Copies of this chain bind each other. A is one copy, B any other.
Amino acid sequence: MKDIARDLDVSVVTVSKVLRDHPDIGKATKERVLQRVKELNYTPNLMARGLVTGRTSLVAFIVPDLASSFFSEVAIHLSNELRAHGYFMLICWTKEDSAIQAKEVQHLLSLGIDAMIIATSGDDISSFKLIESRNVPYVLFDREVPQLKAPFVGVEDLLAGKMATQHLIDIGCKRIAHICGPDMSPGRRRLEGYKSALQQAGLPLKEDLIVTPLEGGPRGIQHGFEATQRLLAVKPRLDGIFAFNDPLAIGAMEAILSAGLRIPQDVALIGCANIPLGRALRIPLSTIDQDTKELGVRTARAALLLLQKTGKTSPARKLVLKPKLIVRQSSERQSKKKAAAK
């Protein structure tokens, strides 16, 4: 910038103004500057600019898990929407580890991003308090933290849990197991939904049919496999499994099949998230759809809203989308023939 100013014999500020389309610059100088800028392939230093203006056009998306495609898909839609409004999105992976998350958040904060979208790992609120103290707007995604009054965009998980479990009940399952997700709002609510559906149907709640993967961290196929092996050892044998997410369900599928049992005849199976590959599995997987596109777009809008109304206090809206049951072969039995699938 200095170079440009020197070359053209104008002040640095003039150059700066040209770059920001400031009204008071002559047409002639403006063109001279712009040309030189092009020649030198100059780009303003965002750190310096950010230092003064406090804005960087960056939004960070903090996710606990990348392997399960749910967050990746949402990221895609988020990114598209934010990009359309002039923001850049960066993804930051926390490995479902709240200590890592705390570090990343701190680092991002001091880097000076404009907003954060967080699917939190752990409900330690100190990180959030830190964000608030820095006046950086943020949106909670997928995972709610009750103590915080930040905007939240997510899915009605209690209902998701109920729907999945109720569906298994509808097709005649009596001994339904649940493989738990991480101990955060979606995991807890889906479990709750599972319990309440059982209760409403007058089925007993067996603690040994509720398992949590031994290993922590993001829930993947191998966790589902391991958990299901333990479940299959419980007698009398279960006849249905509702897994927290699709990867867990896929692991469960492998465990069930390799134990020589049939799906859905011996054990019916349903997951949650509706990953694109669910249809293509050995046994197409029933699941609960969460509409990642809608989630992504709505979350982006929530963030953009915060970014616009700089001063005004935000109403801190809570947006909860309705989940949708998708029945495929893994839970299709004679008794009832619900439509859906695809």
Copies of this polypeptide in the complex:
2
Interface centre among A46, A90, A220, A282 (most CB of B within 10 A): A90
Task: Say whether, besides A88-B104, A90-B91, A112 and B67 are in contact (CB < 8 Å).
Answer: no
User: What per-residue 1/0 map shows which CB atoms of A88-109 lie under 8 Å from chain B?
Assistant: 1111110100001000101101
Least distance between A110 CB and chain B CB atoms (Å): 4
- The answer to the question of A125 belonging to the interface, with a C-beta cut-off of 8 Å to chain B, is no
- The answer to the question of A123 belonging to the interface, with a C-beta cut-off of 8 Å to chain B, is no
- The answer to the question of A154 belonging to the interface, with a C-beta cut-off of 8 Å to chain B, is no
A44 to B45 Cα, complex, angstroms? 19
Name the residue on B nearest A107 (C-beta).
Answer: B88
Cβ-defined contact, B276 with A253, below 8 A: no
A73 to B281 Cα, complex, angstroms? 20
- The answer to the question of A234 belonging to the interface, with a C-beta cut-off of 8 Å to chain B, is no
Name the residue on B nearest A83 (C-beta).
Answer: B100
Name the residue on B nearest A69 (C-beta).
Answer: B69
Label chain A's interface by main secondary structure: helix
Segment at the interface with B among A50-58, A160-168, A189-197, A202-210: A50-58
Least distance between A94 CB and chain B CB atoms (Å): 9
A265 to B139 Cα, complex, angstroms? 51
A277 to B46 Cα, complex, angstroms? 41
User: What per-residue 1/0 map shows which CB atoms of A76-94 lie under 8 Å from chain B?
Assistant: 1001100100001111110
The A169-221 residues at the B interface (CB cut-off 8 A) are: 220-221
User: What per-residue 1/0 map shows which CB atoms of A57-71 lie under 8 Å from chain B?
Assistant: 110100000110100
Contact of A111 (CB < 8 Å), options: B46, B79, B283: B46
A182 to B329 Cα, complex, angstroms? 34
What residues on B are CB-neighbors of A284 within 8 Å?
282
Contact of A72 (CB < 8 Å), options: B66, B80, B112, B277: B66
Least distance between A27 CB and chain B CB atoms (Å): 26
Task: Say whether, besides A91-B91, A93-B79, A100-B83, A276 and B110 are in contact (CB < 8 Å).
Answer: no
What residues on B are CB-neighbors of A56 within 8 Å?
47, 111
- The answer to the question of A43 belonging to the interface, with a C-beta cut-off of 8 Å to chain B, is yes
Cβ-defined contact, A93 with B91, below 8 A: yes
Instruction: List residues of chain A with CB under 8 Å of any chain B CB.
Output: 41, 43-48, 50-51, 56-58, 60, 66-67, 69, 72-73, 75-76, 79-80, 83, 88-93, 95, 100, 104, 106-107, 109-112, 130, 133, 220-221, 250, 253-254, 276-277, 279-284
Can you show 15 pairs from A to B with CB atoms below 8 A apart? A43-B130, A47-B47, A47-B51, A47-B112, A51-B51, A56-B111, A57-B107, A67-B69, A67-B73, A72-B72, A75-B93, A91-B91, A250-B277, A280-B281, A281-B281
5 shortest interchain CB distances as A-B pairs? A91-B91, A90-B90, A66-B72, A47-B47, A46-B110
Extra pairs beyond A46-B112, A90-B92 (10, CB < 8 Å): A46-B107, A66-B72, A66-B75, A67-B276, A75-B93, A79-B93, A80-B95, A90-B91, A220-B276, A281-B282
